[in-house]
Amino acid sequence: MGIGEVLKVSARRLKDNYKNVILTFLAFLVINIGLGVVLALLSLLFGAVPVIRFLVPIIYVAFIIIELPMTNAYLKQIIKASDGEDVNAFGFTQDIKGLFIVSWKVAFYTLLKYLVPICIGLVSLILIATNISSLALIGSIGYVVVAVLNIIIMLDYVFVNNELIYDNGNSTPKQIVENTAMYMKGNKGNLFLIYLIVFAVFLLLSALISVPVLGIVSILAMYFIFLPYALVLAVTFYESIRGILKDNDNSMEERINQVIENEANNQDGPITETNVNGNIDSSPIQ
């Protein structure tokens, strides 16, 4: 499926399932805002008391530990909503416990894929810190290499959490990571182009926020159209390359039913397969 088709199918899926997608998106946003407020208040409270100040970093770590499985549970519900399933806005919170351990195992094996650029980055940092021009130049080149490697690795494993959801416990965490890279073979170019399109629209909407009146429209478009669409787009793209895309496009079915109805109105006698096939518009579905 080409990029243009993926974009169109994603728009159709969002339109057909907008209520469930947007309610799930807003529920996740509300929870994260609430957790952020609690985190900030606890940091201020504990930070003001020297004896318990050491608890502040522990609170941040606890937040990160909870955030990953919650994000995967949220992703699972977005996938369900995109596929047309009826979901409860906060229903994804019930899946956090079941995804807790496997989420972190998959995250660990994904992190291992970044060991090479991490090592190159550390060596580059040391070379630059020497303040020797020739070594600093090598270190700068090393940073460029790290950036390129990170982009390549990211494109390979960006859908690892999607694969975790689709796999449904059939593979080990390590296999899930490897399977993600397998599905992405030959598809990284299209994904990169989609990222460029999404990033360009994001920059445009962000730039308009500072413009009077248009700023309000931009914010509404960002949170109620663009971000939900980007979520559905990511789901649609990965489902298309995995071969499990569910697109509830009833255009052909409606066209056939219309032809049958027209035949029933315009002719006497039984409706035959020849009558129907001869009147179906075979032009591509728009």
pLDDT at 284 over 90: no
pLDDT at 281 over 60: no
Region 121-148: mean pLDDT is 89
Please, are residues 76 and 165 in contact by the beta-carbon 8 Å criterion? yes
In 3D space, the residue among 168, 174, 227 whose CA is nearest the CA of residue 201 turns out to be 227
**Taking the model in full, what pTM does it have?**
0.81
pLDDT in tens, 83-108: 999 999 999 999 999 999 999 999 99
- With b meaning 16 or more CB within 10 Å and e meaning fewer, what string describes 148-176? ebeeebebbbbbbbbbbbbbeeeeebeeb
Long-range Cβ pairs for the range 60-67 (8 Å, 24+): 63/35, 63/39, 65/104, 66/35, 66/96, 67/35
Please, are residues 225 and 193 in contact by the beta-carbon 8 Å criterion? no
Q: Cα 112 from chain centroid?
A: 21
